[in-house]
Amino acid sequence: MTQLPYRAVVLDIEGTTTPITFVYDVLFPYARERVAEFLSNNLDNPEVQRDLELLREQAQEDAAGDFPNAPQVPADAAGNALVEAAVTNIHWQMDADRKTTALKSLQGKIWKDGYAAGTLVASVYPDVFDALEHWQSLELPAYIYSSGSIAAQKLLFGHTEKGDLRPQLAGYFDTTTGPKKNAQSYLDIAHLIHQAPEDVVFVTDNLDEANAAADAGMQTRIALRPGNAPLPEHDHPTLTSFDALFEA
C-alpha cells in the first residue's frame, strides 16, 4: 500500500465536503418554509419562548436603529397572532440575510427537527464518503474545521445521503478554537490532535484559510468544486476530488 504523505486530515465543509449551495439552496429555504409550522407546534417550549423574546427585543432594536421598517413582534401577541408576527419578522430577516442570534437559534432548532425527521438530508460529495471510509480503514484520523458550530457540524455529518458519518470522523473544530484565517488556529489544532503541523493536510476552498494553514506548517489542498468562487493565483496544490488525496 502506498504510504500517504500525511498522518491526519482536517476538512473544511462548505465548498470542500459539501456544495457551497447547500446552505442557500437547501438549509435556508427549509427553515423559511417550516418556520410557521415549527412555531405553531412548539409555542409552549421554553427554549422557543426564549428565542421569541430575543426576536422581539431584536425587532425593537432594529426599528430604533438601522431598520425603521423592521416588522415588530408585539409583547401582547399570543397564539396564531404571535406566530404570524414572528414569521413575518423572520422572513424579513432572512430576506435581508441577517445573522442575528434569535434568527440563528430558531433556524438551528428547525434544522435539528428536520434532520431528526429525515425531511432534511445533508449533501456531501460522493468522493468524500469514499475518502472517509478509506482513511478509517487506514486508521488515519479525519477532522472537521468549519465556521459553523460544532453542534451544526455534527448534525450535518450525522444525517447525510449515506447516513451517519460521525463514526468516520475523529473530531470537530469551529471558531471557538480560533478564526479560520489565523495561523495560530492551525497550530492549536495540530497540538490538540497530537500531530506535527507538517503531518497534517488541511483541505479548503478558501485561499486565506489555506495560507493560514500553510503558515502554521500544515500541508494544504484547495478544493475546486462546482460553484466555488474563482481564486487568484496561488501556490497550493488543488484537487477536484478527494481521490487525489490517495495518490502518491
Binding residues vs Mg ion (CB under 5 A): 12, 14-15, 205
Q: Minimum distance from CB of 17 to Mg ion (Å)?
A: 9
Q: Minimum distance from CB of 52 to Mg ion (Å)?
A: 32
Choose between 207 and 244: whose C-beta lies nearer to Mg ion: 207
**C-alpha atoms less than 13 angstroms from C-alpha of 179 in its C-beta half-sphere:** 6
Identify the three-state secondary structure at position 37: helix
Q: Minimum distance from CB of 210 to Mg ion (Å)?
A: 10
Q: Minimum distance from CB of 211 to Mg ion (Å)?
A: 14
Choose between 16 and 107: whose C-beta lies nearer to Mg ion: 16
The CA-based dihedral angle spanning residues 65, 59, 91, 28, taken in that order and rounded to the nearest 10 degrees: 90
CA–CA separation, 100 vs 109, rounded Å? Answer: 14
CB atoms inside a 10 Å sphere around CB 186: 27
CA–CA separation, 235 vs 228, rounded Å? Answer: 18
Q: Minimum distance from CB of 142 to Mg ion (Å)?
A: 16
Choose between 82 and 189: whose C-beta lies nearer to Mg ion: 189
**b/e for 106-121, b at 16 or more Cβ within 10 A?**
bbbbbbebbbeeeebe
Residue nearest to Mg ion (CB): 15
Choose between 57 and 174: whose C-beta lies nearer to Mg ion: 174
CA–CA separation, 222 vs 15, rounded Å? Answer: 10
Choose between 15 and 71: whose C-beta lies nearer to Mg ion: 15
